[in-house]
A and B are shown apart, each in its own frame.
Chain A
Amino acid sequence: MPFVRSAALLLWKDVVVELRAKELVYATVFFAAIVLLVFAFAFLGGPLPTVDVSAGVLWVALVLTGTLGIGRAFEREREGDTLRALMLSPLPRAAIYVSKLAAIALLMAIVETVVVLLMILLFHLSVAGEAPRLVAFLALGTLGFAAVAALFGASLGRARSRDVLLPLLTYPVVVPVLIAGTRGTVALLTGDGAVASYWLKFLLVFDAIFVTIAVRIFEPLLRGDS
């Protein structure tokens, strides 16, 4: 089966599973709302915080929510032992990884829509003219974060203390995404177009490197220790 078709089929399977259960979408959206409220209680009430704070809140909320979603998604796989079944199938390994990555990116895109709307509501985020570029930032940032988190989430399948290890392994690695995402968002909000495009390019390079590594080492990681 050609690569793209396998990946698309696997993605469709994940979408159907989620459409029936609706567990991940509800849980992550609700969690994102709670995280934003916690930040709102911490930062709002006095004078409106600077754009640095808004951008930071946005990206931290995304990373926390993404971790929760990815952890739960692979927990579900583990309960049904479905990842092992996929690995036994004659599908290209990279297609399995790409489908998981796409499914997680899709989930995060839904959450991000809600998060940005809440940010506009709670933190008076104003992105009127820069909306397309903010979307580009979120899309590239999500891809970079999900590329690493999906890889570790999948290969933590049999490990002990999975829930602890997923953020512990992922966060130090995705720091460049957080830096580029927050600095780029700040540049967008303050109208510094040149700086914003610099960070956008940086995210693109980052994504390319991390997706390449992840695709390459997905199989050895899932195969486990020799």
Chain B
Amino acid sequence: MKGSKPLYLVATLLAVAGLLWAPQLIAAAPREATMGFVQKIFYYHVPSAWLCFLGAFVCAGGSIAYLFKDSEAGDRVGVAGAELTVLFGLCVLVTGPLWARKAWGVWWQWDVRLTTTLLLWMIFVAYLFARRYGGPGARKLAAGLALFGAADVPLIYISVSIWRTIHPKTTVVPTLQAGMRGPFWLSLGTFTVLFFVLLGMRLQLERARARVDELHLAVEDLEDR
């Protein structure tokens, strides 16, 4: 961990700088013709959504390592990924309806992206629930749930997309207006750096926790002797 400290510091500074700078660029970006001011939510909504899905992948990868290789590191990656999914997912699920109320006139639609994101979020909330309240065996159980969750998402996506979809397509991103492109990519970059900084912090915390448990057991052994 010691070797990665400078990198970690640089990343943290980058994230802070981005979080300070991006809002100014976003405020200065051109107003969208039809949606006006609410369109600016897009700069937070899209990066959060992409990191929510990234977190789910990270969690599923760690869970596979923990399930089949009994890798403790995999378990730590799993819980960190799940927490980030829930965190960024919450950002998506809060900013989305705020925008939808203005753009569609309703808070919620059973649209394919909305439904998929909501269920993905719920699966990872259940993951954290299982770990928190499950007691013995719950970590394996949660890892199994993450695996199902990863398999579930495409299925939910297909099943809901049979109904009509009104969510803006992903082609919105490459066809952005010139003035909007800069702030968007800065937002995305900042959120991504933030994601990895949080992931690193969370992993470090879990490692420290495991070490404390180890020491605790070692002391008990000494006392028994």
Binding site for B on A (CB under 8 A): 148, 151-152, 155-161, 164-165, 168-169, 172-173, 175-176, 179-180, 183, 198, 202, 205-206, 209-210, 213, 217, 220-221, 223-226
Contacts and interface: CB of A to CB of B under 8 A. Distances in A.
Given A160-B134, A221-B67, 11 more contacts: A152-B144, A152-B145, A158-B137, A165-B133, A168-B126, A172-B149, A175-B156, A180-B159, A183-B159, A183-B162, A221-B141
Interface in B119-140: 119, 122-123, 126, 129-130, 133-140
| Chain B contact residues, majority secondary structure | helix
A218 B123 CA distance: 19
Nearest to B72: A226
Contacts of B138: 159, 225
A67 to B, nearest CB: 14
Contacts of A213: 147-148, 151
A41 B223 CA distance: 65
Instruction: Select the residue from A160, A172, A226 with max chain B CB neighbours within 10 A.
Output: A172
Contact of A151 (B70, B130, B144): B144
A169 B130 contact: yes
Given A183-B162, A209-B155, A168 B140 contact: no
| Chain A contact residues, majority secondary structure | helix
Contact of B134 (A159, A180, A206, A217): A159
B152 interface: yes
A160 B135 contact: yes
The 5 A-B residue pairs with the shortest CB-CB distance in the complex, in nearest-first order: A160-B135, A224-B137, A226-B70, A172-B122, A159-B134
Given A220-B140, A223-B140, A225-B138, A161 B133 contact: yes
A213 to B, nearest CB: 6
A157 B141 contact: no
Interface in B19-71: 67-68, 70
Contacts of A168: 126, 129-130
A225 B139 contact: yes
B144 A155 contact: yes
B219 interface: no
B109 to A, nearest CB: 15
B14 to A, nearest CB: 35
Interface of B: 67-68, 70, 72, 119, 122-123, 126, 129-130, 133-141, 143-145, 147-149, 151-152, 155-156, 158-160, 162
Nearest to A205: B155
Contact of B159 (A148, A169, A202, A225): A202
A226 B4 CA distance: 28
Contacts of A205: 155
B133 A221 contact: no
Contacts of B158: 202
A173 B152 contact: yes
B121 to A, nearest CB: 9
Given A155-B140, A158-B135, A158-B136, A169 B145 contact: yes
12 contacts: A148-B148, A156-B141, A158-B136, A159-B137, A159-B141, A165-B133, A165-B141, A168-B126, A173-B123, A175-B152, A183-B159, A224-B137
A221 B66 CA distance: 11
B181 to A, nearest CB: 36
Contact of B67 (A157, A180, A217): A217
Contacts of B72: 226
